[in-house]
C-alpha cells in the first residue's frame, strides 16, 4: 500500500471590509481557491490540485485558513493563492486577498508556526503603541483572556450528590 504525502498550506485572509470576516466559510474559501487555480493554471492545474484539496481548518475571527493538497501540486496551489480577489457567500462578494504564511508537512508543524507567528504579531502590536495607556489596555486584555468553567454547572453537580 502506498502512502500519499500531503502538504498543508497555512494562509491568512486579509480584507478591509469587516463584513468579510463574518462571511468566511470553508466552502466559500475552497471555491475561491479552486476558481483561482483554474484561472491561473487551467484544467491541468485544477485537476492536479483537486485530487486531495480540502480546507482542513478555518478560523473566521482571525482569518486563518489551513489548506491540504498533494505534495506534487502544492506549488501550483501556492502560486494561485495571490489571485484570489474575493470571497462569495450568500450572494454577496467581499473583496479580500489570501496571504501564504507557511507550508508544512503536518498540521502540527503549521500549529507550531502559527503560535510563533501570533507571538511576533503581539510584540509588533505592543511596539507600535503610541502611548502607555494603549500598551496597558492591550496587556490588560491579553491577561484577561482565559478559559474558565462556569461555577453554576459544577455547583449543581455537587448538590445532586446529596452533600451540601
CA-CA distance, 164 to 140, in Å (whole number)? 37
**Whole-number pLDDT of residue 151:** 52
Fold of 1-105: Alpha-Beta Plaits (3.30.70)
What HEC string does 117-152 produce? HHHHHHHHHHHCCCCHHHHHHHHHHHHHCCCCCCHH
Domain ranges of the chain: 1-105, 107-146
CA-CA distance, 13 to 36, in Å (whole number)? 15
List per-residue pLDDT tens for the chain, 164 residues long: 778 889 999 999 988 877 777 778 889 899 999 999 999 999 999 998 888 899 999 988 888 999 999 999 999 999 999 999 988 877 888 888 899 999 999 999 999 999 889 888 888 888 888 888 888 887 777 777 655 555 544 444 444 444 44
Instruction: State the residue for C-alpha cell 446529596.
Output: 162
Amino acid at each position: 500500500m502506498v502512502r500519499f504525502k500531503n502538504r498543508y498550506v497555512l494562509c491568512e485572509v486579509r480584507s478591509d471590509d469587516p463584513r468579510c470576516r463574518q462571511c468566511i466559510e470553508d466552502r466559500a474559501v475552497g471555491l475561491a481557491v479552486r476558481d483561482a487555480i483554474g484561472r491561473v493554471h487551467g484544467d491541468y492545474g485544477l485537476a492536479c490540485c483537486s485530487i486531495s484539496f480540502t480546507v482542513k481548518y478555518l478560523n473566521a475571527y482571525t482569518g486563518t485558513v489551513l489548506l491540504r493538497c498533494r505534495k506534487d501540486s502544492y506549488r501550483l496551489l501556492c502560486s494561485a493563492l495571490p489571485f484570489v480577489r474575493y470571497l462569495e457567500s450568500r450572494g454577496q462578494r467581499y473583496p479580500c486577498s489570501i496571504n501564504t504564511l507557511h507550508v508544512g508537512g503536518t498540521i502540527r508543524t503549521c500549529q507550531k508556526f502559527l503560535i510563533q507567528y501570533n507571538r511576533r504579531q503581539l510584540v509588533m502590536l505592543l511596539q507600535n503603541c503610541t502611548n502607555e495607556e494603549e500598551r496597558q489596555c492591550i496587556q490588560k486584555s491579553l491577561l484577561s483572556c482565559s478559559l474558565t468553567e462556569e461555577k453554576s454547572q459544577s455547583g449543581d453537580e455537587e448538590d445532586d450528590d446529596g452533600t451540601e
